[in-house]
Amino acid sequence: MEQHSLGLVYRSATDMNYKGHVSFSLPPPLPQFPAQQAAMNYHFPQTLVAGYSYRPTTNWNLEVDADWSDWSSLRDAAIQTAPIPVGTLTFNWKPSAIYEFGVTRYFGGGWRASAGYMYSENSVPTGFLNPLIPDSDRHIFSIGVGKTYRHLSWDAAYQLGYGPARSVTADINSPNGSYEFFSNALSINVGWRF
């Protein structure tokens, strides 16, 4: 079926062990602490991705993907230091999915143009939302253009992301406030084929 392509990818969970240094200071007159060695084990979740591509003609490609991550397996990450303990990062996230749709139009002379949309589900329950990772449901739009030569290829793309505001009030685990996501991104890729 030349017009149809299917893909399925499974990645098992894995742990990463980080080693480095931490430093922090307290307001005077409290004692100041020098930088100290630290380590942390971080659990990356299992993921499952399914995709489908349809090419009605050689000039068009339409794609849909669903990407599921089991963030519920990420619970606590203890920052291990000696002799002064720093603490534990508590996540308690939930599984989430990303749904993607894209279309590419191929033109003569190696030119192409693409557009896409992604919807990313929130992974962080309100009780564990924090300013470091202010997760929310997100809508992400992108457009791009590219060209392929004999060995060289390049692509340029613009992406706009928006996440509606989430409010947290009177929660002991999360700082109170309103969290909103907005981003702009420009990317340029260059490739060389041997």
Q: Write the CA distances from 8 to 47, 101, 104, 192, integer angstroms.
A: 11, 16, 21, 27
pLDDT digits (tens, 9 = 90+) for 63-78: 999 999 999 988 888 8
pTM of the model: 0.80
**Could you give the CA distance from residue 18 to residue 164 in angstroms, rounded to a whole number?**
33
Residue type, 26: L
Contacts of 174 (CB under 8 A, 6+ apart): 126, 127, 128, 129, 130, 168
**Confidence bin at 100 (pLDDT 50/70/90):** very high
Domains identified in the chain and CATH numbers:
4-192 (2.40.160.60)
With a pLDDT cut of 70, the percent of the chain lying above it is 96
**Could you give the CA distance from residue 117 to residue 62 in angstroms, rounded to a whole number?**
12
Handedness of CA 179, 181, 182, 187 (dihedral sign): positive
Q: What is the pLDDT of residue 144?
A: 98
Q: What is the pLDDT of residue 86?
A: 73
H or E element, residue 184: strand 177-192
Read off the pLDDT of each residue in 53-67 and give the average, rounded to a whole number. Answer: 97
**Could you give the CA distance from residue 158 to residue 142 in angstroms, rounded to a whole number?**
6
pLDDT digits (tens, 9 = 90+) for 101-158: 999 999 999 999 999 999 999 998 877 777 777 788 999 999 999 999 999 999 999 9
Separation of CA 72 from chain center: 16
Look over the chain and give the mean of its residue pLDDT values, rounded to a whole number: 89
Q: Name the nearest CA neighbour of 135 among 186, 98, 171.
A: 98
**Could you give the CA distance from residue 193 to residue 154 in angstroms, rounded to a whole number?**
11
**Confidence bin at 174 (pLDDT 50/70/90):** low
- Range with the poorest average pLDDT among 30-34, 52-56, 125-129: 30-34
The DSSP string of 55-79 is -SSTTEEEEEEEEEE-GGG--EEEE
Does the pLDDT at position 169 exceed 80? no
**Could you give the CA distance from residue 4 to residue 1 in angstroms, rounded to a whole number?**
6
- DSSP structural state of residue 98: E
- Range with the poorest average pLDDT among 21-35, 48-62, 91-105, 129-143: 21-35
